[in-house]
Amino acid sequence: MDVLKRNNINMFGKGEQALMFGHGFGCDQNMWRFVTPAFQQQYKIVLFDHVGAGNSDLEAYDTHKYGSLQGYASDILEMCQELDLENVIFVGHSVSAMMGVLSAIREPDLFSKLILIGPSPCYINDENYVGGFDRADVLSMLAYMEHDYPLWADTFAPLIMGNPDKPSLGEELAQSFCNTDPDIARHFAQVTFLSDNRQDLPKLQTETLIMQCAEDIIAPAEVGDYVHHAIRNSTLVQMEATGHCPNLSAPLETIAIIDDFLQV
């Protein structure tokens, strides 16, 4: 298996330490284009597409392997091994945040810091836990995707993105959704929204930054608080950015917060 081809890995930058960026559901590495230039003088930037997304090798997609987030965590570890990376700083947006957590739990010596943007260990409300969705809502959404994926993308992308005053951002996200194979997207969504990694968070030893957006329907503020309290060595920053994709909607604030964390 050619790992570089499988995950469409791209590297650039003048630094030695790796700053590795993982994208969220329905997206690809292009979603980091406003953020990475700020760090390429100091770090080795590592971009990749999850299998099934972007320009990854679609033939490598296996529903059994990617039937849980652990399959994606295995890919992250394999990429680090293939590239001979050490002391990795992993930046994970949305579902990639939990993939980064799982990776660091399995190989704690490989990662120096984790940066989690809009993380959620569980999207479904459960007794005293607020995940943001009732189980029936998630199942209804998955059925909507099965019935008419393009219409789902056009409907939900602007809600996920937020920032209604910047409609082009919602349109870009919808287009990104539509560029993903519908069958793979539906399976990935099922794995993402039905996952529950709450019990994994206390196992994490890596120093972690949690970046919490305002008015985020995917990962509401209660989730950010939960993640912060569950991860012992963590810092929570409440962002002024709204919606779920500050890497697109508020790149300057995103850069500033990451940079502050890295300078400590």
Q: What percent of the chain is predicted at pLDDT more than 70?
A: 100
Three-class SS of residue 33? coil
Catalytic residue among 28, 50, 244, 249: 244
123: phi then psi, degrees, rounded to nearest 5:
-90, -10
Q: Which tens digit of pLDDT belongs to each residue from 145-185?
A: 998 989 988 988 888 898 888 889 888 888 888 788 889 99
Q: Crossing angle for the helix pair 95-106 and 69-82, nearest 10 degrees?
A: 60
Under the banding of pLDDT at 50, 70 and 90, the label for residue 93 is very high
Q: Is the pLDDT of residue 245 over 90?
A: yes
For residue 1, the model assigns a pLDDT of 75
Question: What sign does the CA torsion over 134, 132, 129, 196 have?
Answer: positive
Is residue 140 part of the annotated active site? The answer reads: no
109 is catalytic: no
Q: Is 93 a catalytic residue?
A: no
User: What residues pair up with 111 in beta bridges, in sequence order?
Assistant: 88
Which domains occur in the chain, in start order?
3-122+197-263 (3.40.50.1820)
Where residue 94 falls (left for φ over 0; alpha for ψ -120 to 50; beta otherwise) is left
